[in-house]
A and B are shown apart, each in its own frame.
Chain A
Amino acid sequence: MQIKSASRLVGRALLLPTLALSFSSVAFAGPDENQLIIEGETISTDTKAAAGNPLPHLYSGWRFRSIETQALQADDFENPAFTAVDTGEELWNTVDGSAGKSCSSCHNDAAESMAGVRAKMPSWSDSLGKPHTMETQINACREEQMGAEKWKWEAQDMLAMTAYVGLQSRGMPVALDLEKGEMQDWHDKGEDLYNTRVGQLNLSCANCHGGNFGKMIRADHLSQGQTNGFPVYRLKWGGLGSIHRRFKGCMDNIRATPYKRGSDEFIALEVYTANRGQGLSVETPSVRN
C-alpha cells in the first residue's frame, strides 16, 4: 500500500511540470498520460466529448488508477478477471434449461455474434417496454429461449457471463441509441438522479464525478465515474462487480439508502452514465482498486 501510494505521488509530481506547461492557468490534478496497450493493441482511454455532454473531455477510469493497478489491466494474463472470463466461455457452451440449449446453440461464436453488444447497452427492448441491461438481456435469453432459471444480478455465473460477453466488444466505442423507444426518457430520468443530492453528506454523483474528477478524495483519485470497463474486478471486492454494485457503493459512502440492483432507478442511472461516456472504448473487464 505504502509503496503504491508513494509511487503514485512520484508519478504525479513528475507530471506536474508538463501539466503546468499545457494548462498554465488551471490548477488541475488530472488523469495521467499513460497509454493502455493490451496484447499489442492500443485502446484509447480518452476521447472528445459529444455535443451536450456536461464533461469537457472524456477519460476512462483507468487513467486515474495507480500504475500497479493499470498494469494488471494491461495484461490479460495478469488481469484477475480472466478466471471469470474463462468460466463465462464455458457457460456459453454449456446446455442448461428445458429447451436443451446453450448460448452457442443460437449465437454460435461469441467473438462474432457478441462483438459490439456491450458498447450499445443498455438498449431498448420492445418486448420489455424498457431498456435491457446486459444482465436483463442474458436472463431473458435464459428464461424465454432456454427454459433455464434466471441468474441473480451479482451471481458469479452472471458476472462471468457479462464479463465474457463484454470482452467481445473491447476497444469498440460506447454508442447508445437514445432514439429507440423511450430511451431518451430513461436517460433524462437518469440525469435527474445523477444530479440529485442524496444522503447525510448531501452530495450528488455529479458533485464528485463531474466537478471534481482528477482530484484526490483522501486516498482515492476521483475519476469521471465512467462505466465502460464493467463488470470490473475490484481488488477491494476480491472479485468482479456489476455497475449497479458500484452505484450502491457510492450511495452507501454518502450515507444514502441505495436503490436496488436492477431497479428502474439504477437502470435509468446506467443509461445516463453509459451515454455520458459515449465514445470511450469498452474496456471490459477492467481492474480497479
Chain B
Amino acid sequence: MRISKGALLIVIAFIAPLIVELRTVLAWVNVELTVLESVVLGIGLIGVILVWALWPQSQSNGTESAETK
C-alpha cells in the first residue's frame, strides 16, 4: 500500500467530480464523450489508482510515503 486505506477511498471518491467536470471541459474543445464513455473512463481511472496504490511498496524507493500504514 502506498497510501492509507482511508486516503485511497477519498482519492477514488474524487474521480466522481473529475469525470463529471471533465465531460463539460472536453466538450469545450469539441471532444464529446457519451455517458458510457465517461463511465468507462472513470472505472479505468479507478483501476489505475488501485494498481498504483496496491503496488508493493518495495518496488519504489519509498522516500516520501513513510507515513503509510
Question: Does A associate with B in a complex?
Answer: no
Identify the B interface with A (CB < 8 A). none
Identify the A interface with B (CB < 8 A). none
